[in-house]
Structure 1
Amino acid sequence: MSFIAKLFARRGDDRDVARPLWHRVVAISREPQWYAEAGVADTVGGRFDAITMVLSVVLLRMEADPALIEPSVRLTELFVEDMDGQLRESGVGDQVVGKHMGKLMSVLGGRLGACREALAASDEAPLLEAVKRNVTMIEGSDPARVAARLRDLARQIAILPADALLAGEIGR
Protein backbone atom coordinates (compact mmCIF):
# COMPACT_ATOMS: atom_id res chain seq x y z
CA MET A 1 0.00 0.00 0.00
CA SER A 2 1.40 3.41 -0.91
CA PHE A 3 2.24 6.08 1.66
CA ILE A 4 -0.71 8.23 0.55
CA ALA A 5 -3.11 5.29 0.75
CA LYS A 6 -1.85 4.46 4.25
CA LEU A 7 -2.13 8.08 5.30
CA PHE A 8 -5.77 8.32 4.26
CA ALA A 9 -6.77 4.74 5.00
CA ARG A 10 -9.73 4.18 7.24
CA ARG A 11 -8.99 2.55 10.55
CA GLY A 12 -10.36 -0.94 10.59
CA ASP A 13 -10.13 -1.86 6.90
CA ASP A 14 -13.55 -3.15 5.83
CA ARG A 15 -11.82 -5.49 3.38
CA ASP A 16 -10.61 -7.56 6.33
CA VAL A 17 -13.86 -9.55 6.22
CA ALA A 18 -12.80 -10.99 2.85
CA ARG A 19 -9.03 -11.20 3.39
CA PRO A 20 -8.89 -14.88 4.54
CA LEU A 21 -10.99 -15.85 1.52
CA TRP A 22 -8.77 -13.83 -0.84
CA HIS A 23 -5.67 -15.58 0.52
CA ARG A 24 -7.36 -18.95 0.03
CA VAL A 25 -8.38 -18.06 -3.57
CA VAL A 26 -4.74 -17.23 -4.33
CA ALA A 27 -3.51 -20.40 -2.59
CA ILE A 28 -5.95 -22.59 -4.54
CA SER A 29 -4.96 -20.98 -7.83
CA ARG A 30 -1.29 -21.67 -7.04
CA GLU A 31 -1.80 -25.37 -6.29
CA PRO A 32 0.58 -27.43 -8.43
CA GLN A 33 -2.25 -29.65 -9.68
CA TRP A 34 -3.55 -26.81 -11.88
CA TYR A 35 -0.23 -26.71 -13.68
CA ALA A 36 1.37 -30.17 -13.45
CA GLU A 37 -1.80 -32.25 -13.78
CA ALA A 38 -4.43 -30.04 -15.41
CA GLY A 39 -2.11 -28.33 -17.89
CA VAL A 40 -2.52 -24.63 -17.07
CA ALA A 41 0.58 -22.86 -18.36
CA ASP A 42 2.91 -21.90 -15.50
CA THR A 43 3.37 -18.39 -16.86
CA VAL A 44 2.22 -14.96 -15.75
CA GLY A 45 -0.78 -15.29 -18.07
CA GLY A 46 -1.57 -18.82 -16.94
CA ARG A 47 -1.37 -17.90 -13.27
CA PHE A 48 -3.64 -14.90 -13.86
CA ASP A 49 -6.08 -17.19 -15.66
CA ALA A 50 -6.08 -19.60 -12.72
CA ILE A 51 -6.73 -16.80 -10.22
CA THR A 52 -9.57 -15.31 -12.24
CA MET A 53 -11.24 -18.66 -12.83
CA VAL A 54 -11.04 -19.65 -9.14
CA LEU A 55 -12.17 -16.17 -8.09
CA SER A 56 -15.08 -16.37 -10.53
CA VAL A 57 -16.30 -19.64 -9.03
CA VAL A 58 -16.09 -18.10 -5.54
CA LEU A 59 -17.86 -14.89 -6.59
CA LEU A 60 -20.67 -16.89 -8.19
CA ARG A 61 -21.26 -18.68 -4.90
CA MET A 62 -21.22 -15.35 -3.08
CA GLU A 63 -23.70 -13.67 -5.42
CA ALA A 64 -26.19 -16.47 -4.69
CA ASP A 65 -26.26 -15.53 -0.99
CA PRO A 66 -27.59 -12.06 -0.07
CA ALA A 67 -25.47 -12.08 3.10
CA LEU A 68 -22.32 -12.39 0.97
CA ILE A 69 -22.96 -9.56 -1.50
CA GLU A 70 -21.06 -6.93 0.49
CA PRO A 71 -18.13 -9.27 1.24
CA SER A 72 -17.97 -10.13 -2.47
CA VAL A 73 -17.37 -6.44 -3.19
CA ARG A 74 -14.54 -6.46 -0.62
CA LEU A 75 -13.11 -9.60 -2.21
CA THR A 76 -13.09 -7.90 -5.60
CA GLU A 77 -11.36 -4.87 -4.05
CA LEU A 78 -8.63 -7.18 -2.75
CA PHE A 79 -8.22 -8.61 -6.25
CA VAL A 80 -7.83 -5.06 -7.60
CA GLU A 81 -5.33 -4.15 -4.89
CA ASP A 82 -3.26 -7.26 -5.55
CA MET A 83 -3.28 -6.88 -9.33
CA ASP A 84 -2.39 -3.19 -9.03
CA GLY A 85 0.58 -4.14 -6.86
CA GLN A 86 1.63 -6.87 -9.28
CA LEU A 87 1.55 -4.45 -12.20
CA ARG A 88 3.59 -1.86 -10.36
CA GLU A 89 6.06 -4.51 -9.22
CA SER A 90 6.53 -5.65 -12.80
CA GLY A 91 7.42 -2.12 -13.85
CA VAL A 92 4.15 -0.75 -15.20
CA GLY A 93 4.20 3.01 -14.65
CA ASP A 94 1.63 5.03 -12.73
CA GLN A 95 0.26 6.65 -15.86
CA VAL A 96 -0.85 3.39 -17.45
CA VAL A 97 -1.74 1.28 -14.41
CA GLY A 98 -5.36 2.44 -14.60
CA LYS A 99 -5.66 1.38 -18.23
CA HIS A 100 -4.20 -2.03 -17.43
CA MET A 101 -6.50 -2.41 -14.43
CA GLY A 102 -9.49 -1.63 -16.62
CA LYS A 103 -8.48 -4.44 -18.96
CA LEU A 104 -7.93 -6.86 -16.07
CA MET A 105 -11.34 -6.06 -14.59
CA SER A 106 -12.90 -6.58 -18.01
CA VAL A 107 -11.22 -9.98 -18.21
CA LEU A 108 -12.52 -10.88 -14.76
CA GLY A 109 -16.03 -9.82 -15.79
CA GLY A 110 -15.80 -11.97 -18.91
CA ARG A 111 -14.60 -14.98 -16.94
CA LEU A 112 -17.35 -14.45 -14.38
CA GLY A 113 -19.98 -14.44 -17.15
CA ALA A 114 -18.46 -17.48 -18.84
CA CYS A 115 -18.38 -19.43 -15.56
CA ARG A 116 -21.92 -18.35 -14.63
CA GLU A 117 -23.34 -19.77 -17.87
CA ALA A 118 -21.09 -22.83 -17.99
CA LEU A 119 -21.60 -23.95 -14.40
CA ALA A 120 -25.38 -23.55 -14.73
CA ALA A 121 -25.45 -25.83 -17.77
CA SER A 122 -26.51 -29.44 -17.34
CA ASP A 123 -23.66 -30.81 -19.47
CA GLU A 124 -19.91 -30.23 -19.41
CA ALA A 125 -19.52 -28.81 -22.94
CA PRO A 126 -20.04 -25.12 -22.00
CA LEU A 127 -17.50 -25.32 -19.17
CA LEU A 128 -15.00 -27.04 -21.44
CA GLU A 129 -15.49 -24.29 -24.05
CA ALA A 130 -15.10 -21.60 -21.37
CA VAL A 131 -11.79 -23.14 -20.31
CA LYS A 132 -10.59 -23.38 -23.92
CA ARG A 133 -11.38 -19.67 -24.45
CA ASN A 134 -10.16 -18.34 -21.12
CA VAL A 135 -7.23 -20.38 -19.83
CA THR A 136 -3.69 -20.38 -21.16
CA MET A 137 -2.83 -24.06 -21.47
CA ILE A 138 0.35 -26.02 -22.10
CA GLU A 139 0.34 -27.27 -25.68
CA GLY A 140 -1.14 -30.74 -25.88
CA SER A 141 -2.85 -30.60 -22.48
CA ASP A 142 -6.49 -31.49 -21.97
CA PRO A 143 -8.72 -28.54 -20.97
CA ALA A 144 -11.24 -31.08 -19.66
CA ARG A 145 -8.97 -31.53 -16.63
CA VAL A 146 -9.22 -27.84 -15.78
CA ALA A 147 -12.98 -27.93 -16.35
CA ALA A 148 -13.30 -30.93 -14.01
CA ARG A 149 -11.26 -29.18 -11.30
CA LEU A 150 -13.41 -26.04 -11.64
CA ARG A 151 -16.62 -28.08 -11.43
CA ASP A 152 -15.30 -29.90 -8.35
CA LEU A 153 -14.31 -26.57 -6.77
CA ALA A 154 -17.79 -25.18 -7.45
CA ARG A 155 -19.35 -28.22 -5.75
CA GLN A 156 -17.11 -27.81 -2.69
CA ILE A 157 -17.93 -24.12 -2.40
CA ALA A 158 -21.67 -24.62 -2.93
CA ILE A 159 -22.03 -26.64 0.27
CA LEU A 160 -19.97 -24.32 2.48
CA PRO A 161 -21.85 -22.14 4.95
CA ALA A 162 -21.24 -18.42 4.45
CA ASP A 163 -19.01 -18.06 7.52
CA ALA A 164 -16.84 -21.00 6.46
CA LEU A 165 -16.48 -19.56 2.97
CA LEU A 166 -15.44 -16.16 4.33
CA ALA A 167 -12.94 -17.89 6.58
CA GLY A 168 -11.39 -19.47 3.48
CA GLU A 169 -12.22 -23.01 4.54
CA ILE A 170 -12.42 -24.30 0.97
CA GLY A 171 -11.16 -27.85 0.62
CA ARG A 172 -10.07 -28.16 4.23
Structure 2
Amino acid sequence: MGLLGLFARKPHERAGFELYGAAVAAARQPRFFAELGVPDTLDGRFDLVSLHVALLIRRLRRDPDPAGPKLAQAVFDAMFADMDVNLREMGVGDLVVGKRVKRMWEAFHGRAAAYESAVDAGDAPALAEALARNIWRGEAPPPGAAGQLARHALAVAEALVPQPMAALKRGQAVFA
Protein backbone atom coordinates (compact mmCIF):
# COMPACT_ATOMS: atom_id res chain seq x y z
CA MET A 1 0.00 0.00 0.00
CA GLY A 2 1.34 3.38 -0.95
CA LEU A 3 1.40 6.44 1.26
CA LEU A 4 -1.82 7.76 -0.28
CA GLY A 5 -3.56 4.52 0.67
CA LEU A 6 -3.24 5.51 4.31
CA PHE A 7 -5.46 8.53 3.70
CA ALA A 8 -8.09 6.87 1.52
CA ARG A 9 -11.66 6.91 2.78
CA LYS A 10 -13.53 3.70 3.30
CA PRO A 11 -16.11 3.08 0.55
CA HIS A 12 -19.19 3.75 2.70
CA GLU A 13 -17.73 6.24 5.16
CA ARG A 14 -19.41 9.36 3.77
CA ALA A 15 -22.82 7.64 3.46
CA GLY A 16 -22.40 6.25 6.98
CA PHE A 17 -21.90 9.74 8.40
CA GLU A 18 -24.84 11.10 6.38
CA LEU A 19 -27.14 8.31 7.58
CA TYR A 20 -25.95 8.78 11.13
CA GLY A 21 -26.72 12.50 10.80
CA ALA A 22 -30.25 11.67 9.63
CA ALA A 23 -30.73 9.40 12.66
CA VAL A 24 -29.47 12.13 14.99
CA ALA A 25 -31.84 14.67 13.42
CA ALA A 26 -34.74 12.24 13.89
CA ALA A 27 -33.74 11.70 17.53
CA ARG A 28 -33.63 15.42 18.27
CA GLN A 29 -37.30 16.10 17.65
CA PRO A 30 -38.39 18.47 20.43
CA ARG A 31 -41.58 16.47 20.99
CA PHE A 32 -39.59 13.60 22.50
CA PHE A 33 -38.47 15.90 25.28
CA ALA A 34 -41.50 18.20 25.57
CA GLU A 35 -44.36 15.74 25.09
CA LEU A 36 -42.88 12.40 26.12
CA GLY A 37 -40.71 13.63 28.94
CA VAL A 38 -37.49 12.06 27.68
CA PRO A 39 -34.77 13.56 29.89
CA ASP A 40 -32.99 16.33 27.98
CA THR A 41 -29.62 15.17 29.25
CA LEU A 42 -26.56 13.59 27.71
CA ASP A 43 -27.96 10.17 28.61
CA GLY A 44 -31.45 10.93 27.29
CA ARG A 45 -30.08 12.20 24.00
CA PHE A 46 -27.72 9.22 23.71
CA ASP A 47 -30.63 6.84 24.24
CA LEU A 48 -32.79 8.46 21.56
CA VAL A 49 -29.90 8.49 19.09
CA SER A 50 -29.19 4.85 19.96
CA LEU A 51 -32.81 3.92 19.25
CA HIS A 52 -32.83 5.55 15.83
CA VAL A 53 -29.38 4.26 14.87
CA ALA A 54 -30.32 0.74 16.00
CA LEU A 55 -33.42 0.82 13.79
CA LEU A 56 -31.37 2.05 10.84
CA ILE A 57 -28.65 -0.57 11.34
CA ARG A 58 -31.33 -3.26 11.60
CA ARG A 59 -32.71 -2.16 8.23
CA LEU A 60 -29.31 -2.07 6.57
CA ARG A 61 -28.16 -5.46 7.88
CA ARG A 62 -31.27 -7.15 6.48
CA ASP A 63 -30.92 -5.83 2.96
CA PRO A 64 -30.05 -8.45 0.34
CA ASP A 65 -27.54 -6.03 -1.21
CA PRO A 66 -24.05 -7.01 -0.01
CA ALA A 67 -23.41 -3.33 0.71
CA GLY A 68 -26.09 -3.37 3.44
CA PRO A 69 -23.98 -4.82 6.27
CA LYS A 70 -21.00 -2.69 5.23
CA LEU A 71 -23.14 0.42 5.32
CA ALA A 72 -24.52 -0.65 8.72
CA GLN A 73 -20.94 -0.88 9.98
CA ALA A 74 -20.19 2.56 8.54
CA VAL A 75 -23.17 4.02 10.45
CA PHE A 76 -21.98 2.36 13.66
CA ASP A 77 -18.43 3.65 13.10
CA ALA A 78 -19.77 7.16 12.45
CA MET A 79 -21.81 7.08 15.65
CA PHE A 80 -18.87 6.15 17.85
CA ALA A 81 -16.46 8.49 16.10
CA ASP A 82 -18.98 11.24 16.90
CA MET A 83 -19.29 10.07 20.51
CA ASP A 84 -15.50 10.21 20.85
CA VAL A 85 -15.35 13.76 19.45
CA ASN A 86 -18.25 14.93 21.63
CA LEU A 87 -16.68 13.57 24.80
CA ARG A 88 -13.41 15.32 23.99
CA GLU A 89 -15.25 18.58 23.27
CA MET A 90 -16.98 18.26 26.66
CA GLY A 91 -13.56 18.14 28.28
CA VAL A 92 -13.30 14.43 29.06
CA GLY A 93 -9.62 13.62 29.34
CA ASP A 94 -7.84 11.57 26.69
CA LEU A 95 -7.13 8.74 29.13
CA VAL A 96 -10.82 8.35 29.99
CA VAL A 97 -12.42 8.80 26.55
CA GLY A 98 -11.66 5.26 25.38
CA LYS A 99 -13.23 3.73 28.48
CA ARG A 100 -16.33 5.95 28.21
CA VAL A 101 -16.76 5.15 24.51
CA LYS A 102 -16.41 1.43 25.28
CA ARG A 103 -19.15 1.67 27.92
CA MET A 104 -21.35 3.55 25.44
CA TRP A 105 -20.62 0.90 22.81
CA GLU A 106 -21.65 -1.87 25.22
CA ALA A 107 -24.79 0.03 26.23
CA PHE A 108 -25.69 0.55 22.58
CA HIS A 109 -25.35 -3.15 21.79
CA GLY A 110 -27.51 -4.16 24.74
CA ARG A 111 -30.20 -1.67 23.81
CA ALA A 112 -30.07 -2.54 20.10
CA ALA A 113 -30.53 -6.25 20.88
CA ALA A 114 -33.52 -5.56 23.14
CA TYR A 115 -35.12 -3.21 20.62
CA GLU A 116 -34.50 -5.51 17.66
CA SER A 117 -36.02 -8.48 19.43
CA ALA A 118 -39.20 -6.55 20.24
CA VAL A 119 -39.41 -4.95 16.77
CA ASP A 120 -38.92 -8.32 15.06
CA ALA A 121 -41.79 -9.73 17.11
CA GLY A 122 -43.93 -6.64 16.53
CA ASP A 123 -44.28 -6.57 20.32
CA ALA A 124 -45.08 -2.96 21.23
CA PRO A 125 -45.46 -3.69 24.97
CA ALA A 126 -42.04 -5.39 25.14
CA LEU A 127 -40.51 -2.52 23.19
CA ALA A 128 -42.19 0.00 25.50
CA GLU A 129 -40.77 -1.87 28.51
CA ALA A 130 -37.25 -1.85 27.04
CA LEU A 131 -37.53 1.84 26.17
CA ALA A 132 -38.83 2.72 29.65
CA ARG A 133 -35.95 0.82 31.26
CA ASN A 134 -33.28 2.41 29.06
CA ILE A 135 -34.51 5.91 28.28
CA TRP A 136 -35.98 6.85 31.63
CA ARG A 137 -33.33 4.81 33.46
CA GLY A 138 -35.36 3.52 36.35
CA GLU A 139 -37.59 6.57 36.67
CA ALA A 140 -41.25 6.12 35.81
CA PRO A 141 -41.92 7.64 32.39
CA PRO A 142 -44.89 9.97 32.04
CA PRO A 143 -48.13 8.00 31.55
CA GLY A 144 -48.29 6.57 28.04
CA ALA A 145 -44.90 7.98 26.98
CA ALA A 146 -43.11 4.64 26.62
CA GLY A 147 -46.00 3.25 24.57
CA GLN A 148 -45.99 6.29 22.30
CA LEU A 149 -42.24 6.03 21.80
CA ALA A 150 -42.59 2.29 21.07
CA ARG A 151 -45.24 3.01 18.43
CA HIS A 152 -42.95 5.65 16.94
CA ALA A 153 -40.06 3.16 16.81
CA LEU A 154 -42.22 0.52 15.14
CA ALA A 155 -43.38 3.09 12.58
CA VAL A 156 -39.76 4.11 11.90
CA ALA A 157 -38.74 0.47 11.46
CA GLU A 158 -41.60 -0.05 9.02
CA ALA A 159 -40.85 3.17 7.12
CA LEU A 160 -37.18 2.24 6.68
CA VAL A 161 -37.91 -1.14 5.05
CA PRO A 162 -39.04 0.04 1.59
CA GLN A 163 -36.40 2.74 1.24
CA PRO A 164 -34.20 1.89 -1.73
CA MET A 165 -30.63 0.84 -1.10
CA ALA A 166 -29.49 3.25 -3.81
CA ALA A 167 -30.73 6.18 -1.69
CA LEU A 168 -29.26 4.69 1.48
CA LYS A 169 -25.89 4.30 -0.25
CA ARG A 170 -26.06 8.03 -0.97
CA GLY A 171 -26.66 8.67 2.73
CA GLN A 172 -30.36 9.41 2.39
CA ALA A 173 -32.83 7.96 4.86
CA VAL A 174 -36.26 9.19 5.86
CA PHE A 175 -37.43 8.51 9.40
CA ALA A 176 -41.18 8.36 10.05
TM-score past 0.5 threshold: yes
Of the structure 1 ranges 136-145 and 115-124, higher mean CA displacement relative to structure 2 is found in 136-145
SS of residue matched to 1:18: helix
Which residue, out of 7, 13, 22, partners 1:10? 7
Query: What TM-score do you get using the length of structure 2 for normalisation?
Result: 0.85
Specify the alignment match of 2:110 in structure 1.
110
CA distance in 2, matches of 1:171, 1:116: 17
Specify the alignment match of 1:79 in structure 2.
79
SS of residue matched to 2:174: coil
Specify the alignment match of 1:169 in structure 2.
173
Specify the alignment match of 1:155 in structure 2.
158
1:139 Cα offset (Å): 5.6
Letter aligned with residue 33 of structure 2: Y
1:40 Cα offset (Å): 1.3
Which residue, out of 17, 20, 32, partners 2:18? 20
Q: How many residues align?
A: 166
**8 A contact 2:128–2:150 mirrored in 1:** yes
1:70-98 deviation digits (Å, cap 9, x = unpaired): 11111111011100011111111111111
CA distance in 2, matches of 1:51, 1:80: 11
Query: What TM-score do you get using the length of structure 1 for normalisation?
Result: 0.87
**8 A contact 1:128–1:143 mirrored in 2:** yes
Of the structure 1 ranges 152-161 and 49-58, higher mean CA displacement relative to structure 2 is found in 152-161
CA distance in 2, matches of 1:47, 1:84: 15
Matched, 1:126 2:126: yes
Calculate percent identity across the aligned residue pairs. 29
> Unpaired segments of 5 or more residues in structure 2?
none
1:93-145 deviation digits (Å, cap 9, x = unpaired): 11111111110100110111011111012432211111111113786512111
> Unpaired segments of 5 or more residues in structure 1?
1-7
